[in-house]
Structures are given as C-alpha cells and as structure tokens.
Amino acid sequence: MSRATARARRADLCARVVDVLTPELLTGRWKSSFSETGNRYAGHCYAAAEAVFHLVGGRARGWLPCVMSNSTWSEGLEPGETHWFIRHERTGEILDPTAGQFGGAVPYERSKGCGFLTREPSRRARVIMQRLAEGSVAVAA
C-alpha cells in the first residue's frame, strides 16, 4: 500500500470516528456544554484520539498521544481545558478526529507527547471502537 493510500485510510478512519460520537459519551461539564453549544466535537477529543491510537497500532507503530492545554494554547483553550490527538513520531503525521471543534488551524507544534491514562482502551474508546466494528453511524444531534 502506498503512503498516500495509507494516509487516506487514516483520514477516513478519523472521519468515521466522528460519525459515531454521540452526547452520551461525554463526561463532566462537557455533557451540559453540548446542549448549550451543539459542538459535536467538543469534549470527545480524549476518547476519540485514544480509539484512533489503538486502531492504528499505537506505540508499536510509532504513534504518540499528544496534548495541549490552556498554558500552551490560550487562544484556543479555556483554563482547565486540554486537547488530545496523536502524532506519528517519525513522519510527524497528525491524526486529530475532533480538530473541527476549533474552526481553524490547530497549533500542533505547541503540544507535548505523553501517554493515555490506561494501557488498554478506556470505556469510551471501547464504545467508539465497537461502534466502528459494527458499522454504526450516529445521528448528528
């Protein structure tokens, strides 16, 4: 498979992840903010990035979880907020299924590499992965 084909498949995976995100996957303050803003991406970045990370092979395939916070991107994130995505360590390719919440360019260079909270997919990431496996597509809320 060519690099361009592989990259296109990963972009398609991110789009399919977005298709299965629903409000009941949100936690904490994101549940109430969804009803106020209707932003279907906000609050899903951790679980969406984690699901993609596991689906593309994780650290064994060179992918690294990355995070930004208000201290590194105050123009895009409120105090206490973070934004998660994954980056390939060798190529620098970014996979960010929820980038659409920002409505503009995301300064990925301001992020830092880190790890997810658990080695195995979290409950929310497992739900996303299961929905993808079943071919589920959420109804846009």
Predicted pLDDT of residue 20: 92
Q: The whole model's pTM is what?
A: 0.87
Q: What is the mean pLDDT of residues 2-20?
A: 92
Q: What is the mean pLDDT of residues 24-50?
A: 72
Is the model's pLDDT at 27 over the cut of 90?
no
Predicted pLDDT of residue 40: 66
| 97-141 pLDDT, tens digit each | 999 889 899 999 999 999 998 889 999 999 999 999 998 655 433
d(CA 105, CA 76): 10
d(CA 32, CA 131): 23
Predicted pLDDT of residue 46: 93
| 43-81 pLDDT, tens digit each | 789 999 999 999 999 999 999 999 999 999 999 998 989
